[in-house]
Structures are given as C-alpha cells and as structure tokens.
Amino acid sequence: MEIRRIIELLRHGTPGESIKVQGWVRTKRELKEFAFLDVNDGSSLQGLQVVVNQNLPEYEQTLKLLNTGSSVSIEGELVASQGKNQRVELVAKAVQVWGTADLETYPLQKKRHSFEFLRTIAHLRSRTNTLGSVFRIRNACSQAIHQFFQDRDFMWIHTPIITASDCEGAGEQLAVTSLNLQDVPLSEDQTVDYSQDFFGKPTYLTVSGQLEGEIMASAFCNVYTFGPTFRAENSNTSRHLAEFWMVEPEVAFCDLQGDMDLAEAFLKHVFKSVLEQCPEDFEFFNLRIDKSVLETADTIINSEFERITYTEAVNQLEKASRKFEFPVEWGLDLQSEHERYLSEELFKKPVIVTDYPKQIKAFYMRMNDDDKTVAAMDVLVPKIGEIIGGSQREERLDLLEQRIVAQGLPLEDYWWYLDLRRYGTVPHAGFGLGFERLVQFMTGMANIRDVIPFPRTPLNAEF
Ligand code: 4AD
Ligand code: MG
C-alpha cells in the first residue's frame, strides 16, 4: 500500500482513499470504545488524527503500546473529519508498532518544555512542535537560498573547511589538533609524524570561505558558498555559535552599491519564498513565539532598506534619547545594542550601514578616497542586529599589501591572494550571511542554539 506523507494528506487527501502513514505518536486520547491518536511524521506542524477502534485485531493490547513517542505504521481509510481542525482523519485497519516508548521515562511529555531543557535532549527535541517548525523553515531557507543564486547564474562552490589562513584576521580560529597516531611511512624514505604536523603547518577550521570565494569569482564571475564555518569566540550570547553556517556570494565586476542591492534582493527573495512554502509554520511562530514574525516578514519583503553611512549612524546614536551600555564614538565598533536601536527603534526596518572606519574592519576591504573608511556594509535587522557583513574588496595590489602589513599579518602567507591582484584584477564585492541568524530572525526564536539541530558553543559539544 502506498505510503503517504502527512502534510500531503492534510492538504490533498480525499475521503475513501486507502493509505498507509508512518511516524511517531504525539498523543493518545482514550474514549470508551475507541481512541484518537495524533501521529506526526515531521512533514507538517499538524499531525494526522487516527481513529483506533475495536475492529482492529488485538485492539486492547495494541492500544497499550501506542503511547506518546512510540513509532508506528498505520494502514487504513481516510474519512471526512468531524473536527474543525482537519479535513480528513484516518480510520486504522492495521497498526504496526515498531518501537514503544515508556511513559515513565520518555522525556517529552505532553506539557510544554522550556527550550533550556530541550537543549539537554537535543537527540529528541526535533520531535516537538517548535523545533519541528524551526527545522522545516531551515530547510525551506536553504532551498530558497540556492534557488535565488541558481536563478541568477551563480555557481555554488565548495571551499575548504581546513585552512591555513585567517580570513578575518581576528584570531578566532579553532585549531585542528593533530592526530595522535604513530609515524606512518609514506614511502620507503619518507614519513609523516601524524602526532606533530599532518599538513606541515598549523591549520584551523575556516572562519569564512571568502578568500577562496574570491579565487573562484576571479574565474567564474558569480559564485557563492553555503557551508559550515567556525569561530572560537568566547561569547556566550544568544546570537553566537562556535559552529554556524554561512552563505557567501562573491561577485566580480561589482562595487559596494551592487553588493547592497544583491543583499537586499536576496533577503526579500528568501522571506517571500519561505512564507509561501511554510505558511502554517509561520503562523505558529507568530502565535506562539513572537507576535511580530509575520509583520517582520512583510517589512522585509515590501519596504526599501534604509542605507546610511557609519558616520551618519554614529551621529544618530549620539542624538539618541536613550542611554547605551557601550560608548558611542567615531572609530569604535557598533555593539549589538546600537545596531538594534538603529533598525528596531529608529528606522523600524533593515538598515544597511556602510563605510566603516578602516581600523575596525578586515584587511581585504577596499579603502575609500578619504583614507579613513573602507567600502564595508553591514545589514542590521530588528532583534538580531548584524545579519550580513560584506564589502567591496581591495583590488589594488599596492594598497592591499599596505593593509596586510598594517594589520600585522604575514604578507608571505597571502601570496596567492595577492596574485589575484597581479593577474587580471577586477573590482569585486561580496557578503556573508549568518544562516542561523537568518532562521532566528525569521522565526522569532530568542536563542540561536534553538535554530540549529546540534549547537556548538563554549563547553558544549554533545554527541
Ligand atoms: O561579518 P562577518 O565576520 O563577515 C565575514 O566573515 C566575511 N568574510 C563575509 C564575506 O564578506 N564573505 O560574518 C558574516 C556573518 C555575520 O554578519 C553574522 O550574521 C554571522 O556571519 N556570524 C555568526 N553567526 C553565528 N555565530 C557567530 N559566532 C557568528 N559570527 C558571524
Ligand atoms: Mg561582521
């Protein structure tokens, strides 16, 4: 018999169809002569209501096994539902219980659990309503991201996870520790001491695929990465992870203006597409997590992002009527409270801040004519602050060399990066979107640890 996904049955199932579903029992409601099960297979927020009655062989024994958490395959016939929450329900004709779950010990009980508690059972929390919706939205976001770039003729490139260079120059790299193996002979006269030096030099987990992205953009014009990145920031905040996913487009023959236009079109597309694909999940977040989720989506899709320079932003912050915890002064980096003030309170929509002081930005950003600021842009959004960081890159060899030296980075390590400026250099630009910050922003989830299946943060790497 045909196995069907529950989302599809809820949307298109017709009474009279004989079908089979499989999933996990969320709840069981026993009445005198029959019982209702809520079965969920992860395809939708809502489960399928299943009626189990005494026509079922071994009704009593089977019913005992059908506790919350048990896994089942159920064959039966769809009937029109009496309840107002669903169009159809399933009358079970045959039930196979694959795995039971002990009521006493199964950690996911009917009541609402705190997200803190759910983090301690990350292996089970995907079966809850909220995390289920988060991960469906996460999937829809991934799809929308690829769609956006593929439709615009961008090539998806794969950049290395293990690297010897520090893209951001911020010293936040996690070191790749060497394997503790014995010397293994490569050939008769060559050995590698694996305990010392597998790659022959210190290596790290990548903080960004940008530099390799620039290499590929120098051949294919429009490229993007979408992969894991790592940062050893010791910041236990609700917006930082040690392992997070980043989307990094890189575009040849593009300036800062084009970069901002791309970022804005990109966010608009992703919101629109996910809203279309996951309407029920969006409604759920709006109702249960954050009442402004749908309004925010509407603002992203329909309003023009504000664009101001860093200098203007500092002026606005200095004029702000409210006190900030961190100082506001030209030359200092904006803190998340400042970023949030600008987008949440002052403009009430996304704000793109450009032209930051050179001393607070990475070496690769293009120097402006004032010799004080660089062609950087950060996209700031309500509740999150910075969601995207990008820039036009320095394409002039001499200026790039000066910046690398000025930031105390070893010039010789960047010989290949400098070669891109020696041979056929072009103006180019790109940005990085923190994927989890996007999902957090979209769903209204308060903590970034609850939008990635297995969060990695200081002192936390279970499994
Ligand atoms: O602003 P960042 O550091 O920019 C770069 O890495 C550039 N190389 C990107 C580029 O131009 N190709 O990081 C980009 C984004 C941030 O705006 C933020 O959304 C996210 O990555 N991000 C983090 N997300 C979660 N946890 C962390 N620890 C993050 N650090 C940065
Ligand atoms: Mg940044």
Indicate whether 23 and 135 sit together in one domain: no
Dump pLDDT digits (tens) for 80-100: 998 888 899 999 999 999 999
Ligand 1 atom closest to the CA of 384, numbered from 1:
19
Q: Which mutation among 433, 437, 450 tests ligand 1's pocket best, with the greatest number of atoms within 8 A of CB?
A: 437
For ligand 1, whether the C-beta of 390 sits within 6 Å is yes
Report yes or no on 230 lying in a domain.
yes
Q: What is the predicted pLDDT for the residue at 84?
A: 83
* Percent of the residues in the chain that have a pLDDT greater than 70, as a whole number: 96
d(CA 313, CA 307): 10
Q: What is the predicted pLDDT for the residue at 183?
A: 54
Q: What is the predicted pLDDT for the residue at 178?
A: 63
Residue of 226 and 178 predicted with greater confidence: 226
**Residues counted in the chain:** 463
Question: What CATH number has the domain bearing residue 423?
Answer: 3.30.930.10
Question: What CATH number has the domain bearing residue 91?
Answer: 2.40.50.140
Q: What is the predicted pLDDT for the residue at 250?
A: 98
For ligand 1, whether the C-beta of 168 sits within 6 Å is yes
Residue of 200 and 326 predicted with greater confidence: 326
For ligand 1, whether the C-beta of 231 sits within 6 Å is yes
Q: Which of 59, 77, 106 is the last residue of a domain?
A: 106
Local structure of 75: helix, strand or coil: strand
Indicate whether 75 and 178 sit together in one domain: no
Q: What is the predicted pLDDT for the residue at 404?
A: 95
Is residue 138 over pLDDT 70? yes
Residue 247, φ and ψ in degrees, nearest 5: -110, 120
Is residue 31 over pLDDT 70? yes
Tokens 């990008």 locate to 390
Which ligand ends up closest to the CA of 387?
Answer: 1
For ligand 1, whether the C-beta of 432 sits within 6 Å is yes
Residue with the smallest CA separation from ligand 1 atom 2 is 389
Q: What is the predicted pLDDT for the residue at 424?
A: 98
Indicate whether 163 and 94 sit together in one domain: no
For ligand 1, whether the C-beta of 386 sits within 6 Å is yes
Report yes or no on 66 lying in a domain.
yes
Q: How far is the CA of 247 from the centre of ligand 2 (A)?
A: 13
Q: What is the predicted pLDDT for the residue at 193?
A: 61
Q: What is the predicted pLDDT for the residue at 358?
A: 97
Indicate whether 62 and 73 sit together in one domain: yes
Indicate whether 305 and 249 sit together in one domain: yes
Indicate whether 197 and 280 sit together in one domain: no
Report yes or no on 161 lying in a domain.
yes
Is residue 207 over pLDDT 90? yes
Indicate whether 11 and 42 sit together in one domain: yes
Report yes or no on 88 lying in a domain.
yes
Report yes or no on 463 lying in a domain.
no
> What is the average per-residue pLDDT within 403-430?
96
Residue with the smallest CA separation from ligand 1 atom 15 is 434
Is residue 461 over pLDDT 90? no
Report yes or no on 119 lying in a domain.
no
> What is the average per-residue pLDDT within 195-208?
83
Q: What is the predicted pLDDT for the residue at 223?
A: 98
Indicate whether 155 and 186 sit together in one domain: no
Report yes or no on 456 lying in a domain.
no
Q: What is the predicted pLDDT for the residue at 184?
A: 57
Is residue 258 over pLDDT 60? yes
127-165 burial, b at 16+ Cβ within 10 Å, e below that, comes to: bbbbbbbbbbbbebbbebbeebbeeeebeebebeeebeb
> Across-strand partners of 388?
379, 433
> What is the average per-residue pLDDT within 319-343?
95
Is residue 170 over pLDDT 80? no
Is residue 13 over pLDDT 60? yes
Q: Are 326 and 338 in contact (CB under 8 A)?
A: yes
Indicate whether 373 and 437 sit together in one domain: yes
Least confident of 81-95, 290-304, 383-397: 81-95
Q: What is the predicted pLDDT for the residue at 463?
A: 74
Q: How far is the CA of 168 from the centre of ligand 2 (A)?
A: 9
Indicate whether 349 and 376 sit together in one domain: yes
Q: What is the predicted pLDDT for the residue at 169?
A: 77
Q: What is the predicted pLDDT for the residue at 187?
A: 66
For ligand 1, whether the C-beta of 388 sits within 6 Å is yes
> What is the average per-residue pLDDT within 109-123?
90
Q: What is the DSSP string of 181-249?
A: ---EEEETTEEE-TTT-TTSS--EE-S-SHHHHHHHHHHHSEEEEEEEEE------SSS--SEEEEEEE
Is residue 180 over pLDDT 60? no
Indicate whether 12 and 151 sit together in one domain: no
Q: What is the predicted pLDDT for the residue at 2?
A: 87
Q: Which of 183, 206, 229 is the last residue of a domain?
A: 206
Q: What is the predicted pLDDT for the residue at 177?
A: 74
Is residue 192 over pLDDT 80? no
Q: How far is the CA of 62 from the centre of ligand 1 (A)?
A: 52
Least confident of 52-66, 184-198, 209-223, 287-301: 184-198
> Across-strand partners of 185?
191
Q: Which of 159, 182, 206 is the last residue of a domain?
A: 206
For ligand 1, whether the C-beta of 437 sits within 6 Å is yes
Report yes or no on 426 lying in a domain.
yes
Burial zone of 456 (CB within 10 Å; 0-12 exposed, 13-18 middle, 19+ buried): middle
Q: How far is the CA of 355 from the centre of ligand 2 (A)?
A: 13
Indicate whether 414 and 443 sit together in one domain: yes
0.90 surpassed by complex ipTM:
yes
For ligand 1, whether the C-beta of 240 sits within 6 Å is yes
Domain interval for residue 363:
127-169+207-450
Least confident of 30-39, 178-187, 220-229, 452-461: 178-187
Q: What is the predicted pLDDT for the residue at 297?
A: 97
Q: Is 42 left (phi over 0), alpha (psi -120 to 50) or beta?
A: left
Is residue 246 over pLDDT 90? yes
Ligand 1 atom closest to the CA of 240, numbered from 1:
26
Count of domains for the chain? 3
Q: What is the predicted pLDDT for the residue at 82?
A: 87
Average pLDDT in the chain: 94
For ligand 1, whether the C-beta of 434 sits within 6 Å is yes
